[in-house]
């Protein structure tokens, strides 16, 4: 028995749409004709309880990193990571929106950079023999390219500020010791150690919950789950590239567009988190609106690409938006309490490498 039902939703929502689920259940009932006492009404759906429960578990797991990290930072051993000096540089609201707009333009290079990558893959050098996760390749390539361009712009901006105002890398939280651009050995090692401890905690929490309840961190998309030995290798493969991305993005978020402090650390964290999340996600939200408003109103798909390549990556932007928001908050928290960009960068690179390695498909994409 076959039945075709076309809901007015995107591909992403097919498995989380009440109408789709109701039609599927009704098709099964008509095809199998079970005893009525073993069947419930197709509209009496309870799947959303599990779906939102896994969302709460995931958010709680990531949120637990924040107080746990602060507890460690208040110990004598990790206290060396914290910076006691006050920040000297802040940008105005107008300057913030100026640089956030420039960053937004760079973020809109999403599809062009992915097209370049797949052009190189198809016509120059097949990259999937070295980097087999093609969806991850596209996203990481874009994030890396955007941050490298942004890093060059940041360097030019910093040199002007250094000559004009005497701004130092210490003022921006880029140096771990003094005014040097390289990190102090002790601070760097302790930073890496603490990032490893915090990552091990959140990974271990998810691993334990998955073993007990057979459910991983997910909401609509799978976000993170246990890593097999092969996927641990994928974690190690992509981690260095993501680390570069988060160091460069940290320079931009916590240095160039840093807003004034508030009366308390908590207020500062909330204020800076809001600004940082906005800078990273607002351009992509607008990008998605350009894709989906015409789709839902007229049926026209603005960005389709060769073989529907762009459609796949536009769908992935929803998942990417969530990752950018989560990592921006984590990065901001540790910047507020350490005055440095590195703890958040090492930790976020590990979290995103884990989420990519455990949840993304390992398969070629036809172009």
Give which of 324, 314, 307 is closest to 292, Cα–Cα. 314
Per-residue pLDDT of the chain (367 residues; tens, 9 = 90+): 577 777 777 777 777 888 888 888 888 888 888 888 888 888 888 888 888 999 999 999 999 999 999 999 999 999 888 876 567 889 999 999 999 999 999 999 999 999 999 889 888 888 888 898 989 999 999 999 999 999 999 999 999 999 999 888 888 888 876 444 445 788 899 999 999 999 999 999 999 999 998 888 988 888 899 999 999 999 999 999 999 999 999 999 999 999 999 989 999 999 999 999 999 999 999 999 999 999 888 888 899 888 788 888 898 899 999 999 999 999 999 999 999 999 999 999 999 999 999 988 776 665 5
Q: What is the pLDDT of residues 26-38, one digit of tens each?
A: 888 888 888 888 8
Q: Please list the residues that pair with 218 across neighbouring strands.
A: 222
In this predicted structure, what is the pLDDT of residue 178?
46
pLDDT of residue 366: 54
Q: 241-265: string of b/e by CB count within 10 Å (b at 16+)? A: bbbbbbbbbbbbbbbbbbbeeeeee
Name the one residue in this structure whose structure tokens are 């901006």.
157
Q: What is the pLDDT of residue 284?
A: 97
Could you give the CA distance from residue 73 to residue 114 in angstroms, rounded to a whole number? 39
Question: Parallel, antiparallel, or unpaired: how do β-strands 221-224 and 217-219 relate?
Answer: antiparallel
Q: Are 197 and 189 in contact (CB under 8 A)?
A: no
Do the Cβ atoms of 345 and 81 come closer than 8 Å? no
The pLDDT value recorded for residue 307 is 79
User: Quick check: 307 and 366 in contact, CB under 8 A?
Assistant: yes
Count Cα neighbours of 358 within 13 Å in the Cβ-side half-sphere.
21
Angle in degrees, 0-180, between the axes of helices 309-338 and 134-165, rounded to the nearest 10: 40
**pLDDT at site 181:** 42
| Inter-CA distances, 117 with 122, 218, 237, 285, 355, Å | 9, 28, 18, 23, 22
| Cβ contact 176:168 at 8 Å | no
Cα–chain center distance at 256: 20
Query: Structure tokens of 69?
Result: 């990290």
The whole-angstrom separation of Cα 233 and Cα 211 is 21
């Amino acid at each position: 028995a076959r039945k075709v039902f076309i809901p007015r939703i995107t591909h992403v929502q097919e498995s989380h749409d009440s109408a789709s689920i109701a039609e599927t259940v009704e098709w099964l009932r008509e095809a199998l004709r079970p005893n009525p006492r073993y069947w419930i009404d197709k509209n009496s759906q309870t799947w959303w309880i599990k779906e939102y429960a896994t969302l709460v578990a995931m958010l709680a797991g990531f949120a637990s990193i924040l107080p746990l990290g602060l507890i460690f930072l208040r110990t004598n051993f990790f206290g060396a990571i914290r910076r006691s000096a006050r920040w000297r540089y802040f940008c105005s609201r107008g300057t913030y929106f100026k640089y956030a707009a420039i960053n937004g333009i760079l973020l809109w290079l999403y599809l062009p950079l992915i097209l370049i990558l797949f052009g190189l893959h198809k016509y120059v050098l097949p990259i999937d023999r070295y980097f087999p996760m093609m969806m991850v390749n596209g996203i990481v390539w874009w994030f890396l390219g955007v941050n490298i361009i942004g890093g060059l712009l940041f360097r030019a901006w910093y040199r002007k500020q250094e000559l004009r105002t005497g701004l130092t890398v210490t003022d921006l939280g880029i140096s771990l010791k003094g005014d040097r651009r390289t990190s102090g050995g002790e601070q760097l090692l302790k930073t890496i150690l603490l990032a490893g401890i915090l990552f091990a905690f959140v990974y271990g929490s998810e691993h334990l919950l998955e073993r007990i309840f057979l459910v991983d961190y997910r909401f609509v998309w799978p976000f993170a789950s246990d890593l097999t030995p092969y996927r641990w290798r994928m974690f190690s493969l992509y981690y260095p590239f993501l680390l570069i991305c988060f160091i460069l993005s940290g320079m931009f978020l916590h240095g160039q567009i840093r807003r004034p402090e508030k009366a308390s650390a908590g207020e500062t964290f909330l204020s800076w988190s809001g600004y940082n999340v906005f800078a990273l996600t607002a351009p992509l939200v607008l990008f998605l609106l350009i894709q989906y408003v015409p789709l839902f109103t007229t049926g026209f798909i603005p960005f389709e690409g060769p073989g529907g390549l762009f459609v796949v990556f536009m769908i992935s932007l929803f998942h990417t938006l969530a990752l950018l928001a989560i990592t921006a908050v984590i990065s901001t928290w540790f910047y507020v309490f350490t005055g440095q960009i590195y703890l958040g960068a090492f930790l976020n690179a590990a979290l995103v490498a884990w989420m990519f390695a455990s949840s993304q498909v390992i398969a070629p994409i036809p172009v």
